[in-house]
Amino acid sequence: MSGCPFNRETRSSPVDLDDGLENDAAQEGINKAALGGLVYGDYLQLHKILDAQVLESTKHHNTIHDEHLFITTHQAYELWFKQILWELDSIRQIFYHRQIKNERNMLKVVSRMHRITLIFHLLVDQFSVMETMTPLDFFDFRHYLAPASGFQSLQFRMLENKIGVPDSLRVPYNKRHFRDSFRGEEFEKLRLSEIEPTLLQLVQEWLERTPGLEVGGFNFWEKLKKSVSERLEEEACKAKLMENATLKEELMNEIRKQQETFGSLFDEKRHIHLMSKGTRRLSYKALQGALMIYFYREEPRFQVPFQLLNSLMDLDSLMTKWRYNHVCLVQRMIGSKAGTGGSSGYQYLRSTVSDRYKVFVDLFNLATFLVPRSWIPRLTPMLHRSLAKASCCDSSYSSGGDDESDAGSEAGCSGRCGQDHCVCCFDAAAAAAAGRGGTSSPSNTADQACEGFTPTTCNGRFSTTAMATATAGHGPRSPTPPAATVLAREAPVTQNLNKFLVLEK
């Protein structure tokens, strides 16, 4: 007998959790597979996947056991690369169609970025499986692999391009460009990935629209510049009053370093110079937006964007860890031998583990410019109210359910709603460029231009091929991308969008 919380006595009896599990009657059901239709193996195309492990050593009548592990592991990498590209393309699609302006889509972006980072965690850990193979075991079949090389992974090169690894900072492979390793259809896919707007460009454009940066509004940058300057001057005055000469000199040196550091932050010309060297990647205004999100990350409207910026850093970190683990594995397996593809092997791979291959390096460096909370400019009541709730624009920005391919619904904007910055209300300049004419003011062309429109509707659908082709231009394709192609990837994404409007005429 046990007491009940409601002063009622109840009888407790042991519960047999296994009761009925061994009873045949409890296991009765319907074998739907016997009725025909789609079955597990057919749905997953297992006959293709499980028959894809063809050992080169077996072809030479000398089957090496560990070659099967080598092939399976690399095929698993390629399958996960495909999934990452799938997620990345969906994220770029949302940014490209400005669906991110409907902030309900931010959760979708962050969720898919989180999925990408979890996959990379898996890929980083997967090297431990390869390490169960000894160098001698690998040596038994390595000579069968040449000239095949991991350098020839098309999907990994496409991943680098779509994220935004700058071509100018890549380490040459045997004094050649990596695209020289591809031909035919693979070369075309790679070329398109070089032309499409990168994740870096799209995130940059999004950061440039951060509320609070407006010169005629809150003007966050000028307020921050004034606050930091005043506080550093106050710190310098306090230091000069110190009696201990040693501590005084140390503190003054520290203040001078901070003044120099923030001087590089607030000097736009210096920022442009650092961008030309590859030290900084984001535009001057995008960097301002990122720093503002960091400072005011507790505001409701900035909480999810802050998570996105963290996810972008996680992606960069995990790709660096993946490269590093790859380097360690190669050194462990072949030492300083040349790679099967003809590269220097370990020496080449080691050179890729650096900030040169980090895309969002500016986000990591933001910690350099963090200041005490008391230095951060106070929000105006109007901006504080604005950041207290997410922005939900008209249906032109809506994802149209779960299908991100719709830039807008038929029931949404007609193309002349008159709303500021509407994605469907392109102005006279954009209309004239598209051969449609118009009479409205040519202002705000980039913001009002309808992205992804076709000759028949402005609510077009996202197509990486169409987008890239429009950006690159039409006509015969040269064996190597023209110089303009490389420049297009490093130019602001709005230039690509404007070209898209003109070339779809």
pLDDT tens, N- to C-terminus, the chain (505 residues): 555 666 666 566 665 666 555 666 666 777 777 777 888 999 999 999 999 999 999 999 999 999 999 999 999 999 999 999 999 999 999 999 876 666 778 999 999 999 999 999 999 999 999 999 999 999 999 999 988 888 889 999 999 999 999 888 888 776 677 777 788 999 999 999 999 999 999 999 999 999 999 999 999 999 999 999 999 999 999 999 998 999 999 999 999 999 999 999 999 999 999 999 999 999 999 999 999 999 999 999 999 999 999 999 999 999 999 999 999 999 999 887 876 665 667 888 888 898 999 999 999 999 999 999 999 999 999 999 999 976 655 333 333 344 444 444 333 444 444 444 333 333 333 334 444 334 333 344 333 333 333 333 333 334 444 454 444 444 443 344 444 443 444 444 445 544 433 333 3
CA-to-CA distance for 424 and 457, rounded, in angstroms?
10
CA-to-CA distance for 246 and 169, rounded, in angstroms?
43
- The alpha carbons of the chain give a radius of gyration, in whole angstroms, of 29
Looking at residue 14, what is its pLDDT?
Answer: 64
CA-to-CA distance for 43 and 218, rounded, in angstroms?
55
Residues 6+ apart with CB under 8 A from 14: none
Torsion region of 392: left, alpha or beta (phi above 0 gives left; psi -120 to 50 gives alpha): beta
CB 71 within 8 A of CB 59: no
Residues 6+ apart with CB under 8 A from 248: 239, 240, 242
Tell me the residue type at 210: T
Give the single-character DSSP code of 74.
H
CA-to-CA distance for 178 and 194, rounded, in angstroms?
12
Looking at residue 172, what is its pLDDT?
Answer: 78
Looking at residue 16, what is its pLDDT?
Answer: 60
Give the single-character DSSP code of 10.
E
Looking at residue 413, what is its pLDDT?
Answer: 43
CA-to-CA distance for 391 and 397, rounded, in angstroms?
11
